[in-house]
Amino acid sequence: MDGLVAVGVPLALAIRLVSVVATLMLVRHARACRWVALGASIAASVVTAAVAVHVIGSTSSIDGTLFRHAASETVLGYSVTPLSAWFLTTLSLIAVPVALYSTGYFAHAIAPPRMAAVGAALNAMVGGLEVVFVADGVIAFLCGWEVMTLATAALVATEHESRASRRAAYLFLVMSHVGTGCLLAGFLILGSVAGSLSFAVILSGHVVSGSMRSGVFALFFIGFGVKAGLIPFHVWLPEAHPAAPSSVSAFMSAVLITAGIYGLFKVCAFGLGPPDVNWALAFMSLGTLSAILGVLYALTQTDIKRLLAYSTIENSGIMALGLGAAMMALAHGRHTLATVAVAASLMHVLNHAIFKSLLFLGAGSVVMATGTRHIEHFGGLMRRMPWTGLWFLIGALAISGLPLLNGFPSEWLTFQALLQGFTSTPGLVRLNFPLTAALLALTSALAAACFVRAFGISFLALPRSPAASEAHESPAVMLVPLGFLATLCVVLGLFPGFVLRALGGVTASLPGLQPPAAMMWGGLGMSSALTSFDHVAPVMFGLAFVGGLIGSAALTGRRAVAVRQAPTWGCGGELTPRSEYTATAFSKPVLMIFGAVYRPTRQVDAVAEVSPYFVHEIRYRAEIEPTFERYLYRPLLRGVVRMAGGMKVLQAGSLHAYLAYVLVLAVILLMWLGGTT
């Protein structure tokens, strides 16, 4: 076992590399491609999971080298720290069900000529992500980062005949590279000051100081924020995640986001020395903004995958929020509180990965069965796809942060961190905490509304389109991963104490944090750092709930008379699918109440042929203003284009002009540098 663990990471990466090559060589045999690529993915994920679990259990890092080039003395090493191991566990936990699901899904959804490319890109993406989590130097990190980005872009552009997919891939590439550019700049600044490119040196916290530290922080915040999908860097997320194949979207939303969160943890929060109060405020405010705006936009989407993508932005905001609370606590020297907040954020990383991938895979099944992503064309699927419906319902309950499922514990911990932050920080800045807590409460309640809408309109009542009325249940290979993830949701929701115990080792490995001895409570529950402040044991509530169910059964089950089935009252006419409530109508109250955020525009046309009193058709068009695209990115783009136009003068088109530039530059450089030795 120890031997396997010592070589685990290179072994997993080797498996992936071999499978990429093999998949590309098997380009004519789609079925073989599928099995090779996905089988290798599962195998590599299992190996990585073994390594990660071992590290978390033993709370000691595993180091090694990935690549060594003797001549230039380049060494790309890896170091599986407990923090990396946490993210690797999340990755592997999601990668296995996603791969299993894909064996069924890709057979239906991907055209055979593309299977090789998709399989290879999937393994490249996951492999790149693994390298990102374990890299211990700048070069390895950036190599993994780039491979991950490019593979993801390839996957987003799978259906490249569609203009929307092409645009999504392009937007993703541009924004990712803006982020990568900032990362590169930050790392190079740190590296040039410290004189080394190894993380152990440049992330020790003592490299830069003063305003340079804040500048570097800002660079890394933008770089990792783009990847994590925090507002205002989120514009690529709602385009890219829906465009990719559904199982890939699941992986992207659940795990690829965490690459950004990992960076925020490793560099911004714990790699640049003791955090500044302003940094913590930046994290908390942008996190809260992402959470609120994410869920508000999710509420109005009619494309189910876009809805889930905006919900990812919301949850990403919650993770950033927890981290911000931790940084605020660290800035005031409250180490135990910081530990609670970090644990909350990390727990949410795991929980979000599980229920988001569950929801995306469920959505993928529905999209595959009906052939469309539009919610208003679903309906009545609960009867035709009972298992998918059940698992999706569990996912919807989990993401709404309701007790008994795994969304509740991480939200509970975040609340604890915020409330105790209020009592333990001095000054006016402490008002942030209850305000953030209130906004967090608003977010989770709106998320509940959003997923009542998503689940209810998609699965319940009558089918709203012919496609929905002919939908079939997915094959078993696609249902088993859903069931596994749903079971995990329930188990982790009822027994969050185990997750917390695993997190104890992880938080102890981060600088400035203490292992929270008081966070475990009786093995079944969780408590915050001050045991008397609050504690929760969801399993006991679960028992009470079951008691309530038994009571309700006792009250209503004694009847020997059979249930009478009757048609729903259709107000005197026949009940058709058209009389059902639509998703747009469901979210209309929210749209109107939060109109200042949405700025909706509406256009109603009554089309009449013979006379205006005999209307033949009414056309209704409602649109939400894309605030960030219109007010932030478009002016930015226009400025860049204008600047480029101004610089166009230099591109005279004359070869001689270009050569003259080179000559002038050479003369200047020689005179400047040549005079000094």
Partner 1 sequence: MTANVLILSAAGMLVSAYLMVGQKALFTTIRLYGLQSLLLAIVATTMAISESRHELLVTAALTVVLKTILIPWFLMRTVDRIGIQREVEPFLNVPVSLLICLGLTVVGYRVSSGFEEGTQQVTHHLIGVALSLLLIGMFLMVTRKKAITQILALLTVENAVFLVAVGVTTGMPLVVEFGIAFDVILAVLVLGILVQRIVGRFESMDVSRLSNLKG
Partner 2 sequence: MTSAMQDGLLAAGAALLQAGGLLALAPLLKTVIKKMKARLQNRQGPPLLQGYYDLAKLLRKEPVRSDVASWVYVAGPRAYFAAAVAATTLVPVVFAAAPLESAGGILLLVGALAFGRFALATAALDTGSPFGGMGASRDMTIAALAEPALMLGLFASALAAGSMNLGVLVRTLVQEGVTRHPADILAFAGIFMIVIAETGRIPVDNPATHLELTMIHEAMVLEYAGPDLALVEWASAVKELLYFTLLVDLFLPVGIATSTAPAALLVGIVAWVGKVFVLAIAVTIVESTNAKLRLFRVPELVSISLGLAFLALAIRFL
Residues 612-671 that bind partner 1 (CB under 8 A): 652-656, 659-660, 662-663, 666-667, 670-671
Q: Which is nearer to partner 2, 48 or 388 (CB)?
A: 388
Task: Please state the closest distance from residue 672 (CB atom) to partner 1, in A.
Answer: 10
Rounded distance, CA 447 to CA 43, Å? Answer: 35
Q: Does residue 610 come out as left (phi exceeding 0), alpha (psi in the -120 to 50 range) or beta?
A: alpha
> Please, which residues bridge with residue 537 across strands?
none
**What's the one-letter identity of residue 490?**
V
Residue 674 near partner 1 by CB under 8 A: yes
Q: How far is the CB of 237 from partner 2 (least distance, A)?
A: 23
The residue type found at 181 is: G
Q: Work out how close the CB of 320 gets to partner 2 at its nearest, in angstroms, rounded to a whole number.
A: 19
Nearer to partner 2, 50 or 539 (CB): 539
Give the separation between CA 423 and CA 441, rounded to whole angstroms.
19
The number of beta carbons lying within 10 Å of the beta carbon of residue 182 is 19
Q: Which is closer to partner 1, CB of 607 or CB of 655?
A: 655
Q: Which of 430, 473, 480, 515 binds partner 2 (CB under 8 A)?
A: 430
- Which range binds partner 2 by CB under 8 A, 198-206, 325-333, 367-375, 458-466? 458-466
Contact partner at residue 671 from partner 2, partner 1, none, CB < 5 to 8 Å by partner kind = partner 1
Q: CB of 101 within 8 A of CB of 247? A: yes
Residues 511-570, interacting with partner 2 (CB under 8 A): 522, 525, 532-538, 540-541, 544-549, 551-553, 555-556, 559, 561, 563-570
Total number of residues binding partner 1 (CB under 8 A)? 17
Least separation in angstroms between CB 526 and partner 2: 10
Between 4 and 660, name the residue whose CB sits nearer to partner 1.
660
Site for partner 2 in 320-379 (CB under 8 A): none
Give the residue among 307, 287, 309 at the shortest CA–CA distance from 299: 307
Q: What is the DSSP letter of 523?
A: T
- Binding letters toward partner 2, positions 391-420, x by CB under 8 A: --x---x--xxxxx---x---x--x---x-
Q: In this complex, which beta carbon is closest to partner 2, that of residue 177 or of residue 383? A: 383
CB of residue 555 vs partner 2: minimum separation in angstroms?
6
The distance of closest approach from Cβ of residue 282 to partner 2 in the complex, given in angstroms and rounded to an integer, is 22
What is the smallest separation between the CB atom of 644 and partner 1, expressed in angstroms? 14
**Residue 360 or 586: which CB sits closer to partner 2?**
586
Q: What letter represents residue 658's amino acid?
A: Y
| Residue 225 binds partner 2 (CB under 8 A) | no
Please tell me whether residue 585 binds partner 2 under the rule CB under 8 A: yes
Give the residue with the Cβ less far from partner 2, 72 or 532.
Answer: 532
Kindly report whether the peptide bond that precedes residue 232 is cis, defined as omega within 30 degrees of 0: yes
Task: Please choose, from the candidates 81, 88, 77, the residue with its C-alpha nearest in 3D space to the C-alpha of residue 270.
Answer: 81
- Residue of 76, 278, 268, 282 lying closest to 187 (CA atoms): 268
Nearest residue to 169 (alpha-carbon basis) of 275, 119, 221, 244: 244
Judged by CB under 8 A, the residue of 133, 236, 455, 484 near partner 2 is: 455
Measured from the CB atom, the residue of 72 and 565 that comes closer to partner 1 is 72
Identity of the residue, 229 or 538, whose beta carbon is nearer to partner 2 in the bound complex:
538
* Strand (E) or helix (H) holding 460: none
Per-residue CA distances from 176 to 152, 153, 180, 244, 640 (Å): 10, 10, 6, 16, 17
Query: Binder to partner 2 among 39, 577, 600, 626 (CB under 8 A)?
Result: 577
**How far apart, in Å, do the first and last CA atoms of the chain sit?**
58
Cβ at position 502, least distance to partner 2 in Å: 22
- 43 binding partner (options partner 1, partner 2, none; Cβ < 5 to 8 Å by kind): none
536 binds, among partner 1, partner 2, none (CB under 5 to 8 A by kind): partner 2
**Residue 58 vs 651, nearer CB to partner 1:** 651
Q: Which among 273, 335, 349 has a CA at the least distance from the CA of 84?
A: 349
Residue 437 binding target from partner 1, partner 2, none, CB below 5 to 8 Å by type: partner 2
Tell me, rounded to whole angstroms, the distance of Cα 314 from its chain centroid: 9
As given in the structure block, the two tokens for residue 535 are 């504690």
Residue (148 or 396) nearer to partner 2, CB: 396
Q: Kind and range of the H or E element at 78? A: strand 74-80
For CA atoms 402, 403, 405, 407, the dihedral sign is: positive
Within 8 A by CB and 6+ apart from 461, the residues are 379, 380, 577, 580
Separation of CA 302 from chain center:
20
Could you say which of 58, 60, 278, 423 contacts partner 2 (CB under 8 A)? 423
What is the Cα–Cα distance from 266 to 315, expressed in whole angstroms?
A: 19
Interface residue list for partner 1 (CB under 8 A):
652-656, 659-660, 662-663, 666-667, 670-671, 674-677
